[in-house]
Chains A and B, each alone.
Chain A
Amino acid sequence: EAGVTQSPTHLIKTRGQQATLRCSPISGHTSVYWYQQALGLGLQFLLWYDEGEERNRGNFPPRFSGRQFPNYSSELNVNALELEDSALYLCASSRGQGVHQPQHFGDGTRLSIL
């Protein structure tokens, strides 16, 4: 069974640009989560999508947005990039909304802002 896949592996942008990160969940998983891991800050929850709908978002500004497609893959968009957006962005998936389901993570996209 293929795991959670994320693309691209690395992304280099400059301040003010826009970035798009992609995630494909494990087959059969309908929930997708996005987390940010910035240096020294630990993992912070960004967004949760299930069945195509945004279900919850973390304490991030509106320039962080995303969507989930009918095949359950997901996109994270970050507009007006700032230096502090440099981080590892991790996507996770789970089987449905069940709170007892484990989240499985991908290898992440390293976003560097110059």
Chain B
Amino acid sequence: KQEVTQIPAALSVPEGENLVLNCSFTDSAIYNLQWFRQDPGKGLTSLLLIQSSQREQTSGRLNASLDKSSGRSTLYIAASQPGDSATYLCAVRPYGNNRLAFGKGNQVVVIP
């Protein structure tokens, strides 16, 4: 069974610092990995999707890397802003499956 872990569960950083969020998964047999953002009481907003054949994806201040063989992904957010405060979720799509397996998220607070 695929297990997805995100550590730390919560973190606070001062505005302007770069954010580094880590995600690990136990089974490297995945089609892709997706990073989401969730604001309190809201749904999920897709940030980046990395296919298993890719090493990284970038969108604006966001950059996500994928090391499938070691079961790790990292989301970098450059020059954090208070508006980046949210929970960030990592999800993988295992082989033979259309369901996503989620981590429990990194709850981020950016302090002005």
What residues make up the interface of A, taking CB atoms closer than 8 Å to B?
4, 6, 31, 33, 35, 42-43, 45, 48, 55-56, 58, 88, 90, 92, 97, 99-100, 102-108, 110
Asked, given contacts A31-B98, A45-B99, A56-B99, whether A102 binds B46 with beta carbons under 8 Å apart, the answer is yes
A104 nearest CB neighbor, chain B only: B46
Cα distance A79–B46 in the bound complex, in angstroms: 31
Contact: A99 with B99, CB < 8 Å? no
Instruction: Say yes or no for B11: interface residue by CB 8 A criterion.
Output: no
Bound-state CA distance A105–B91 (Å) is 13
* Chain B residues whose C-beta falls within 8 Å of the C-beta of A56 in the assembled complex: 97-99
- Select B42's contact among A97, A102, A108, beta carbons within 8 Å: A108
Residue in B44, B91, B102, B105 with the greatest tally of chain A CB atoms within 10 Å: B44
A46 to B102: give the CA distance in the assembly, Å.
Answer: 13
With most chain A CB atoms within 10 A of its CB, the pick from B49, B51, B93, B98 is: B98
Chain B residues near A42 (CB-CB < 8 A): 102-105
The dominant DSSP class at the A interface is: strand
Of the candidates A4, A31, A55, A99, the one whose C-beta lies within 8 Å of that of B93 is A99
Assess the B41–A110 pair: CB atoms within 8 A: yes
Selected contact of A105 from candidates B31, B32, B46, CB within 8 Å: B46
Tell me which of A43, A48, A55, A88 has the highest count of chain B C-beta atoms within 10 A of its own C-beta: A43
Task: Tell whether, in the assembled complex, residue A100 and residue B36 are in contact, meaning their CB atoms are under 8 Å apart.
Answer: no
A103 touches B31 (CB 8 A): no
- Inter-subunit contact A58/B89 (CB<8 Å): no
Please list 30 pairs of residues, one from A and one from B, whose beta carbons are closer than 8 Å in the complex, sorted by A's number.
Answer: A33-B98, A35-B102, A42-B105, A43-B91, A43-B100, A45-B100, A55-B98, A56-B97, A56-B98, A56-B99, A58-B99, A88-B41, A92-B44, A97-B98, A99-B32, A99-B93, A99-B98, A100-B32, A100-B51, A102-B49, A103-B34, A103-B46, A103-B100, A105-B36, A105-B44, A105-B45, A105-B46, A106-B43, A107-B43, A110-B41
